[in-house]
Amino acid sequence: MGIAAASVHTEEPVRSGAAARIVDGVKIYGAGDTAVRALDSISAEFAAGEFCAIMGPSGSGKSTLLHCLAALDRLTSGQVFIEDVEVGSLGDKALTLLRRERIGFVFQSFNLVPTLSARQNIVLPLTLAGRRPEPGRLESLADSLGIADRLRHRPDQLSGGQQQRVAMGRALITQPALVFADEPTGNLDSKSATELLEQMRATVDDMGQTVVMVTHDARAAAYADRVLFLADGRIVHELTSPTTDSVLDTIRALGE
Amino acid sequence: MWRITLPGLLAHKVRYALTAVAVVLGVAFMAGTLIFTDTIKNTFDGLFDDVYRNTDAVVRARQPVTPDANFTNQRHLIDARLIDDVRSVPGVAQARLGVGGYAQLVGKDGKAIGNPAAGAPTLGEGWNPDAQSMEPYTFVAGGRPPANGDEVAIDKHSADIGHLAVGDRVTVLTKHSPRQYTITGLVRWGTADSPLGASITLFDLDTAQRVLGKPGQVDEIDVMASPGVSQDELVQRLRTALPDRSLEIITGAQVVEEGQSGIRDALAFFDTFLLVFAGVALFVGSFLIFNTFSIVVAQRMRELALLRAVGASRGQMMRSVLGESVVIGLFASCVGLAAGLGLAVGLRGLLGAFGIDIPSSGLVVQSRTVVVSVVVGTLVTLAAALMPAWKAGRVAPVAALQAVSTGETTRRIRRTVNGSIVVVLATVVLLIGLYADVPHRMRYVGLGGAGLFVGIAVLGPVLARPLGRALGLPLTWVGPAGRLARNNAVHNPKRTSAAAAALMIGVALVALIAVMASSTKSSISAVIDSSMRADFVVSGAGQMGGQSGFSPALQRSVAALPEVSSATGLRSGSARIGGEMMMVLAVDPTHVGDLFDVDVQRGDFADMGDTGIAISRHVADARHLSIGDPVTASFPTTGSQQYVVRVVYGARQLAGDYVLPLAAAQKNFSTQLDFQVYIRLADGVAPDVGRRAVEDALAAYPNATLLDRTEFKAEQEAQIDQLLGLMYGLLGLALVIALIGIANTLALSIHERTHELGLLRAVGMTRPQLRRTVRAEAVIIAVLGTVEGLVVGTLLGWAVVLALKSEGVTTLSIPFGQLLVVAMLASLAGVVAATAPGRRAARLDVLRAISRH
């Protein structure tokens, strides 16, 4: 633990304009002797238009952090804000609508509904809301993701990379406040992974999209603007403008 | 392999439990029927043994021909004075005169007790004061036997129903005019309040002979042996002493056996009826079992492949799945057996509601019942699991390492061909049963029907895609939930159609019965419209072939009214004509033309006389008979009699194939009662005036109901509706099983799609939306099954109605309104079936669902 964590802790984060914030987030699984403190008073902020990666060894709490930030799971104590909306006070219905309208998801697997075509999968959040995409929105999105000619196919007729790009399309279609990606490249070959990461980078650069990505892969993390390192439920380091080498160095340093 | 089988079962407790419910219901029905009928048989066997314990021999008239087994004991009477000859035979301790016939009591409220037209018989008998130990009846304390022509004793059951007590005056209807008697006592039949719920009126011997039979004549002489004389020995001695060939002398044991087998015959119909429904329940259930195992095998593909990869053989895989089915089958059969005990108690109550009184005693569970229930339940489960087990054996080990596609993979062409072959074969078998002249036609019909269902179930997946897409179309207009549901239903047509198959069968049977009933009703209506010229019918006391009816005095008093131009009664009796035992009608030929239009083609009823016979065109053609030809009829009472064809008529729906003159009935029928009386008013008499006059004349006959044509039609239709109600009630069972099937399929497919549902929730599907999706999918499945069932059932009904044309069902009538109600109920039921799975899906923990493993 040679690296100071002081820079991570911001004083009273009231600054508005952040896409998402977590304040003193604590998550405890189980109770009594078997209780596990998955998040241990974490505070962090994700600025609009930022591409942030979260790294850490297995069990460090990075998936828990993502689930809580994405309003999929509730904190034991502390607060999560999505665009200054306090998530903990919302009921299931409001949470669902928040996810539908303001959050996009890309998972490692089980990412698409097998009975729906690529097009139907992409517009699914809009369909659920009873809306239609703005004219041209779907087409330009599919174009920029390179899947314009695949829209009529079903998931089992697409390659893994294409499936993840469809998933990206679905995450972006509602123009959400932020996109959460959980090991998006975990099941992809390196070429598909590179393409997907470049696309994610492009959405941040070109559309000002906020992306939070959990990953194991230093090469993937290097695409981000900033990398948060977690261990034992705490943020132990932060790296801005990472490269593959600086990420690997940090991991090595933290491991000692 | 059990070490793999049992954990597999325990891991999927709930889904297997749901599957087992189908088997439980079928087995419960079967076991309940067996236990119930065994119990009744046992009860009555005991009662007969007890009641006849002092009867060692019976002397009665021999039947020249034996009528079909039924409750009607059609026999000539014998001379009562024979009892003196009997008493003089050595070894005879006592002898008793047996006199019986129709007698019906009228309760305190003025209503006739019992309905012999639909329920247990109403009987009168003579009481022998000097052979009391041989009487089947025992007096309740406080009563005494009837001693003169003004007194009767009645059974306790009727006394309870009619609120009658010792000392009361009671009206008794017999073949003579109704009259009143004083009740001197109440009797029981062995330990029962009455025999099978029949009402009993006991007269003194002379009165009994006069009002039930003929003075000086009796039905039989019952004999009790002296100590040390066996039944066989007694019969031998009686036969030597009474060499008259027209007498039949049998042992008491034979009489007991006759009575017991009479009960068995009476129950046989009920028995068969219920067992058919048990069969339907198991058949529908087997679809559910097949479906569950198929889904479970598909879901466990990876696990099974892993087992294969580590060295399990194909046979072991199959045995593992079959082992599961055996465990489920055994378990469900045992539960079903237990449930059957409860059902047997319920059935007793049901019969009681029909007026058939069954003394309560312990339930009889024979080892046969246990063995049959468990074996059948287990075998059905095993058979339904065969295909899925075979598929489990075919899982390639490499599947463990690959992503498993859940989509449709079966070659559709092969499926279409196979299904079509089954459908065609089944249709041929069905048509053979319906139209060909083969023995056991109903078996062909049943086999063909079942085959047809299987064939359509095989074709189901092929049909499910286009049908599901079309039927789901309206749902897509409602919103995203409907669209997703339709996609799900169409994505796996095999599963969708399998879930719908069970409902298809249930709905098809309902539609079949609805079409048959509706056609029968409109045919009856048409016959009454075309063949009946009478203005009124008196009915309600008896039925064709029964032992009860109206005293001929009723017809005479109505015919004597100035408002009535003609009135005639219909009588019936058994006769063997042209080698066939049948019920034949007899009517006063002089009034036939006024009251009926049976489409007389040759001859005239006026020429019939006492020795003429009218025959249908159908029989005239088949037997090459024409006017003037002789026809021989053999009666159980009088033997062979010659008649001459005087009339050939076209309409056989109302009259059957042969009609005898009234004189023939008086001479040869054992029962001289009219089961219906047809009345035509005199010209110029207004219907309401005529009705009032006839009703006044009928006031003395509380068992009579006066019906005009419209009411008569309604009465006939009501009889069919009553049967229909019972059928629907039982078919409801099949529908319940079908609904469990849909719920089960949905639950399984939700389990399988946990990740997908989690994903939908994560990207913004609300709980109500998810519930709606599940519900919409259930509706698509239900509507699919309903539509298939309605089509199949209506076509089947059409075929059956066509086949019944010669039986008098001449009009095809499809009850569209009724079928629409069925369709709506079935769809609604789909929504109900989706409730639990939908709630479960909505409660799904999003995080858990999308977590990777």
Contacts of residue B374, Cβ cutoff 8 Å, sequence gap at least 6: B27, B330, B333, B334, B337
- At CB < 8 A and 24+ separation, what contacts does B420-429 make? B420/B455, B420/B459, B421/B455, B422/B451, B422/B454, B422/B455, B422/B458, B423/B451, B423/B452, B423/B455, B423/B456, B423/B459, B424/B455, B425/B451, B425/B455, B426/B450, B426/B451, B426/B452, B426/B454, B426/B455, B427/B452
Give CA–CA dist B588/B605, Å, rounded.
Answer: 9
Q: Model confidence over A204-251: pLDDT tens digits?
A: 998 889 999 999 899 999 999 999 999 999 999 999 999 999 999 999
* Contact call for residues B805 and B812 (beta carbons, < 8 A): no
Q: Is B164 left (phi over 0), alpha (psi -120 to 50) or beta?
A: beta
SS3 of residue A154 by DSSP: coil
Cα–Cα distances in Å, from B724 out to B120, B370, B718, B731?
A: 21, 31, 9, 10
pTM, to two decimals? 0.77
**Residue A1: pLDDT above 70?**
no
- Could you give the 3-state DSSP secondary structure of residue B21? helix
Of B142-151, B454-463, B490-499, highest mean pLDDT: B142-151
A65, A72, A159: best mutation site toward chain B, by most B Cβ within 10 Å? Answer: A72
Q: Would you call B759 and A100 a contact, using CB atoms and an 8 Å cutoff? A: no
Considering only alpha carbons, which residue of chain B is nearest residue A74? B847
Confidence of residue A2 (pLDDT cuts 50, 70, 90): very low
Q: How far is CA B658 from CA A104, B127, B567, B633, B646, in A?
A: 85, 39, 21, 10, 11
Q: Is there a contact between B510 and B793 (Cβ–Cβ < 8 Å)?
A: yes
Is pLDDT above 50 for A119? yes
Dihedral of alpha carbons B459, B465, B469, B475, sign:
positive
The answer to whether the CB atoms of A107 and B850 lie below 8 A apart is yes
Maximum average pLDDT range among A147-161, B4-18, B489-503: A147-161
Contacts B483 to A, Cβ<8 Å: 127
Chain A environment of B487 (Cβ under 8 Å) = 115-116
CB-nearest to B763 from A92, A109, A125 is A125
**Cβ pair A96:B765 closer than 8 A:** yes
Give the integer Cα–Cα distance in Å for B237 and B242.
Answer: 9
| pLDDT (tens digit per residue) in A206-218 | 888 999 999 989 9
- A126 to chain B, closest Cα gap in Å: 9
CA triple A137-A139-A142, angle to 5 deg: 105
Distance CA B660, CA B667 (A): 11
Contact B781, B499 (CB under 8 A): yes
Q: What integer best gives the mean pLDDT of chain B? A: 85
Does residue B680 register a pLDDT over 90? yes
State the maximum Cα–Cα separation within chain B, in Å, rounded to a whole number.
103
Of A96, A109, A156, the CB nearest to B764: A96
Instruction: Give the contacts of A64 (CB within 8 A, at least 6 positions apart).
Output: A27, A38, A39, A73, A233
Closest chain B C-alpha to A56 CA, distance in angstroms: 18
Helix (H, G, I), strand (E, B) or coil at A92: helix
Q: Give the count of beta carbons closer than 10 Å to the beta carbon of residue B282.
A: 26
Q: What stretches of B700-753 adopt beta strand conformation (E)? A: 705-708
Q: Do A100 and B755 touch (CB under 8 A)?
A: no
Query: Residue B598: what are its φ and ψ, rounded to 5°?
Result: -95, 20
Residue B283: per-residue pLDDT: 87
- Determine contact: B709 vs chain A, CB below 8 A: no
What 3-state DSSP class applies to A56?
Answer: coil
Residues of chain A contacting B484 with CB distance shorter than 8 Å: 113, 115-116
**B402 neighbors B305 (Cβ within 8 angstroms):** no
A179 near A212, Cβ under 8 Å?
yes
Q: What is the DSSP letter of B65?
A: S
For A91, other C-beta atoms within 10 Å of its C-beta total 7
Confidence of residue B5 (pLDDT cuts 50, 70, 90): low
- Asked if this assembly's ipTM is beyond 0.90, the reply is no
Collapsing DSSP states into helix, strand and coil, what is residue B586?
strand
CB–CB of B852 and A108 under 8 A? Answer: yes
- Distance of alpha carbon A148 from alpha carbon A162, whole angstroms: 11
Mutate to test the interface with B, among A100, A113, A123, A131 (most CBs of B within 10 A): A113
How many C-beta atoms surround the C-beta of residue B536 within 10 A?
24
Cβ(B328)–Cβ(B23) below 8 Å: yes
What residue of A is the nearest CA neighbor of B772?
A128
Q: Do A127 and B847 touch (CB under 8 A)?
A: no
Of B69 and B572, more confident: B572
Quick check: A55 pLDDT over 80? yes
Encode pLDDT of B225-249 as tens digits: 999 999 999 999 999 999 988 899 9
Confidence at residue B72, expressed as pLDDT on a 0 to 100 scale: 57
| Residue-wise pLDDT tens digits, B590-639 | 888 889 888 899 999 988 989 999 999 989 999 999 999 999 999 988 88
- Which candidate in B753, B763, B769, B777 is best for mutational testing of the A interface (most A CBs within 10 A)? B763
Please state, in angstroms and rounded to a whole number, the distance separating the CA atoms of residues B471 and A229: 54
Is B765 within 8 Å of A97 when comparing Cβ atoms? Answer: no
B143 is written with which tokens?
């009563």
**Contact (Cβ atoms closer than 8 angstroms) between residue A55 and residue A221:** yes
pLDDT bucket at B127, cuts 50 / 70 / 90: very high
| φ, ψ dihedrals at A208, nearest 5° | 70, 25
> Residue holding tokens 């309604």?
B714
3-state secondary structure of B361: coil
pLDDT at B522 over 60: yes
| Residue B10 predicted with pLDDT over 80 | no
CB contact under 8 A, B847 and A96: no
Q: What residue has token string 């049998």?
A: B250
B765 and chain A in contact, CB less than 8 A: yes
**Neighboring chain A residues of B760 at a CB cutoff of 8 Å:** 113, 124, 128
Confidence (pLDDT) at A5: 39
Residues in chain B: 853
The dihedral formed by the CA atoms of A17, A18, A20 and A25, expressed in degrees to the nearest 10? -120
Please report, rounded to a whole number, the percentage of residues in chain B having pLDDT higher than 70: 94
- CB–CB contact B758 A130 (8 Å): no
Q: How many CA atoms lie within 13 A of A131 on its CB side?
A: 15
Say whether B100 sits in a helix, a strand or coil: strand
Q: Mapping DSSP to helix (H, G, I), strand (E, B) and coil, where does residue B597 land?
A: coil
For chain A, the residues whose C-beta falls within 8 A of a C-beta of chain B are: 67, 70, 72-73, 92-93, 96-97, 99-101, 105, 107-116, 124-125, 127-130, 156, 170
Q: Flag whether pLDDT at B2 surpasses 60.
A: no
A-contacting residues in B 476-535 (Cβ below 8 Å): 479-480, 483-484, 487-488, 490-491
